[in-house]
Amino acid sequence: MGSTGAYRPEMPLIVQSDHTLLLEVDNPHFEAARDDLLSFAELVRSPEHVHTYRVTPLSLWNAASAGLGPDEVLAAMDRWGKFPTPDNVKTTVLDQARRFGKIELVAEGGDLLLTARDPLLLQEISRLRSMLPHILGPAGAGRLRIDPLARGYVKQALLRAGHPVLDRAGYRAGTAMDVDWRHPGRSGQPWEMRDYQRQAVDAWWGAGGPAGGSGVVVLPCGAGKTLVGIGALCRTRAQTLILCANVTSVHQWMREILERTTLEPDQLGEYTGAVKGIFPVTVATYQILTHRAGRRKDREAGDRDELVDFPHLSLFNQRDWGLIIYDEVHLLPAPVFRITAEIQARRRLGLTATLLREDGREEDVFALIGPKRHEVPWRVLEGQGWIATAVCHELRVDLPQDLRPAYSVAEGAGRFRLAAENPDKVPLVAELLEAHRNERVLVIGHYLNQLQHMSEELGLPLITGATPQAAREELFGQFRRGELRACIVSRVANFAIDLPEASVAIETSGLYGSRQEEAQRLGRILRPKEDGRPATFYALVTRDSVEQEYAHKRQLFLTEQGYRYLIRHAQRTDQPAAASNVVPLRRSEP
């Protein structure tokens, strides 16, 4: 189906000269074309009938690092295009994709060298202001000696200048550690790694050579990213530091490591607010690493506060780590970026369900953690039965009449919060709980006042960041055992809560237009169910409000993955139906 230069109306794709790609949803080739585009383009908008993608330098560099060359990218455009690919787009693809690998970092005789086959390119690099502090001098034709401590900063500076670096300087082995898989698990349960998990570890490791051992693996929530991390640990066979989003994640990692590897309990420990041990395998939180020792008044600057210290960042140098794993790498805080720039000689693995960062620092993930090494789309794993089939609903709720005057004069965050905390969401949650009375339900929200009110009205326990860890684990245990069929959870539900029995999530409010948060919340219910039932996700949104506009942005990433939201107007049961799209709620079978 290669491009012939003729108009092909049966194809779903239009490639435009501004580097945007328009993909028709209502086309029999949509899914196949979408899967191709995911490997080299970024989704920008996803309205009902036409999705808009954009080809960017970073998307092409990630594709190149995964082995997808410019010819394959152009072939995909030609394969699905209604019209021939514009010449300027072809030029961009060829130029940007071929930039990856033109510049390399290599180690030789104790020196860190920056090499380029093009002497003019090397001359250009040597004159960049951002590079001047890091260049120690020439090292022969086509080579510059670089400060070894500036390895990460060099990669950042060159990426921002449009020159991605292929880092082949290798890594320190770290302190060796005897670790392997345990089959069956410590509990006696048989288990095996899935094919895509093995492939992810192999892609990250490469051939074990200097270019392997750093990068990001992108897998859906519930697809077993923890096992990929443990696979990297067993492949590296060295002392390892694992960084997580919260204490619940820390404990989940520790349970999985003890269950599935030959490590003994005295070789594994946590470094958190409550316990600060340093072990051959240490699992820590981002929060403790970015805890500030204090602030001081800078006398010359008057009242300006100045950062004194992040004392726990010293954990990175407490042992000779052979591997550092960044769980939920899309949440990596700025201080951890800075320390990561200085420890480039250690192997690094980033794990995430999405490379989207709300702060726009995807380029820093590429430069400092490494390029995307492996990705499996959500719907692919759903089709293979590794994650549950999901049905997504957006239920639009009217704002009560008595709140409309306040909403009309509110601005910014105040207006959004009024819509998000719409009190008419509470009876709708009650209806949904009744509709799914035979399933395990998570009610998830952002605003604590709303969640506390809902907890009191519905008689359900509330779990927040302030809930003591022991109480939190007890409630989650009751949920897993079926003693508790529903609970209300704050933003702590966004990350690594292991509740495979949950099949329904009701989102009552969120963090503005956060796409990553929407993906994380859906991920809480995607573990396959023993009875094969689908997962059901509800987003409750105030109709004709700013919250409805943000809801569209939140859904963007999941739409890219192939999910569609069934949108309907949810009428209160004590009011007469006023619209034809009011649909009765599905009820569980008795």
Q: What is the CATH number of the domain that holds 444?
A: 3.40.50.300
User: Is residue 554 in a domain?
Assistant: yes
How far apart, in Å, do the first and last CA atoms of the chain sit? Answer: 51
pLDDT band at 200; cut points 50, 70, 90: very high
Structure tokens at 446: 């952002």
Phi-psi region at 82: left, alpha or beta (left = phi > 0; alpha = psi -120 to 50) = alpha
Smallest CA-to-CA distance from 220 within 569, 562, 545, 452 is with 562
Number of domains forming the structure of the chain: 4
Q: Tokens 């104790």 label which residue? A: 110
User: Is residue 580 in a domain?
Assistant: no
Cα separations in angstroms, 300 against 77, 271, 308: 59, 37, 15
Confidence at residue 531, expressed as pLDDT on a 0 to 100 scale: 80
Same domain? 336 vs 211? yes
The whole-angstrom separation of Cα 557 and Cα 438 is 30
Same domain? 372 vs 263? yes
What single-letter amino acid sits at 268?
L
Q: Tokens 């939190």 label which residue? A: 472
Same domain? 399 vs 443? yes
Same domain? 47 vs 148? no
User: Is residue 583 in a domain?
Assistant: no
Mention every residue, 6+ apart, whose C-beta is less than 8 A from residue 353: 218, 219, 220, 221, 225, 330, 516, 519, 520, 523
User: Is residue 578 in a domain?
Assistant: no
More confidently predicted of 196 and 501: 196
Confidence at residue 32, expressed as pLDDT on a 0 to 100 scale: 92
Smallest CA-to-CA distance from 35 within 381, 400, 447 is with 381
Q: Which residue, 74, 99, 124, sits at the end of a domain?
A: 99
Chain-centroid distance, C-alpha 511: 15
Mention every residue, 6+ apart, whose C-beta is less than 8 A from residue 114: 103, 104, 105, 122, 125, 135, 143, 144, 146, 154, 165
Q: Which of 42-56, 156-170, 550-564, 567-581 has the lowest mean pLDDT?
A: 567-581
Same domain? 477 vs 359? no
Same domain? 427 vs 450? yes
**Radius of gyration of the chain from its Cα atoms, rounded to whole angstroms:** 25
User: Is residue 190 in a domain?
Assistant: no
User: Is residue 471 in a domain?
Assistant: yes
Same domain? 366 vs 411? no
Q: How does strand 294-297 pair with strand 305-309?
A: antiparallel
pLDDT band at 75; cut points 50, 70, 90: very high
Same domain? 242 vs 332? yes
- % of residues, the chain, pLDDT over 90: 61
Mention every residue, 6+ apart, whose C-beta is less than 8 A from residue 336: 243, 286, 289, 290, 313, 326
Q: Is pLDDT at 547 greater than 70 in this prediction?
A: yes
Same domain? 161 vs 64? no
Same domain? 466 vs 503? yes
User: Is residue 189 in a domain?
Assistant: no
Confidence at residue 295, expressed as pLDDT on a 0 to 100 scale: 52
The whole-angstrom separation of Cα 371 and Cα 64 is 9
Confidence at residue 553, expressed as pLDDT on a 0 to 100 scale: 82
Interval 221-238: pLDDT, tens: 888 999 999 999 999 999
Mean per-residue pLDDT, 308-323: 88
Same domain? 79 vs 113? no
> Contact at 8 Å (CB) between 390 and 534?
yes
Beta bridge partners of 238: 176
Interval 7-23: pLDDT, tens: 999 999 999 999 999 99
The residue count for the chain? 590
Q: Which residue, 330, 355, 376, sits at the end of a domain?
A: 376
Q: Which residue, 99, 121, 154, sits at the end of a domain?
A: 99
Instruction: Tell me which residue range forms the domain holding 152.
Output: 103-168
Confidence at residue 579, expressed as pLDDT on a 0 to 100 scale: 36
Confidence at residue 552, expressed as pLDDT on a 0 to 100 scale: 85
Same domain? 555 vs 407? yes
> Contact at 8 Å (CB) between 353 and 221?
yes
User: Is residue 305 in a domain?
Assistant: no
Confidence at residue 86, expressed as pLDDT on a 0 to 100 scale: 96
